[in-house]
A and B are shown apart, each in its own frame.
Chain A
Amino acid sequence: MAQIYPGTSQVAQNRRNFTNPEYELEKLREISDEDVVKILGHRAPGEDYKSVHPPLDEMDEPDDIVRELVTPIDGAKAGDRIRYIQFVDSMYFAPAQPYLRARSYLSRWRGIDTGTLSGRQVIEARERDIERLSKILLETEYFDTARTGIRGAGVHGHSLRLDENGLMFDMLRRQVFNKETGKVEMVRDQIGVDLDEPVVLGEPLDEETLKAKTTIYRIDGEAYKDDKEAVEVLHNIHVSRSFGAFDPNAGW
Chain B
Amino acid sequence: MDIEIFPHRVLGSDTTEKLLNDLESIDDVKRTVIHGPRFPKTEETLPPQYRERRVINVNGEDVVLQVKTGRIFVELTMESTIDEIEKVCKQHIPYGFDINQSKTNYIRKEQTVSDRIKYGDMDLPDELIGMTDQYSSFEDHVKIIRKDDFD
Contacts and interface: CB of A to CB of B under 8 A. Distances in A.
A165 interface: yes
Contacts of B15: 164
Contact of B50 (A163, A171, A177): A177
Nearest to B6: A161
Given A164-B15, A173-B40, A178 B9 contact: no
Give the interface SS of chain A, mostly helix, strand, loop or mixed: loop
Interface in B41-59: 42, 46, 49-50
Contact of A163 (B10, B40, B42): B10
Contacts of A171: 40
A206 interface: no
Contacts of A181: 49
A162 interface: yes
Interface residues on A, range: 10 to 19
B8 interface: yes
Contacts of A162: 9-10
Nearest to A220: B96
B50 A161 contact: no
Contacts of A176: 46, 50
A163 B9 contact: yes
B15 to A, nearest CB: 6
Given A178-B49, A179-B49, A163 B12 contact: yes
Contacts of A165: 12
B10 A164 contact: yes
Contacts of B68: 163
Which of B10, B11, B37 has the most CB atoms of chain A within a 10 A radius of its CB? B10
Contacts of A177: 50
A187 B50 contact: yes
A125 to B, nearest CB: 32
A161 B42 contact: no
20 contacts: A161-B7, A161-B8, A161-B9, A161-B10, A162-B10, A163-B9, A163-B12, A163-B68, A164-B11, A164-B12, A166-B9, A169-B37, A171-B40, A173-B40, A176-B46, A176-B50, A177-B50, A178-B50, A179-B49, A181-B49
Interface of A: 161-166, 169, 171, 173, 176-181, 185, 187
Interface of B: 7-12, 15, 37, 40, 42, 46, 49-50, 68, 70, 95
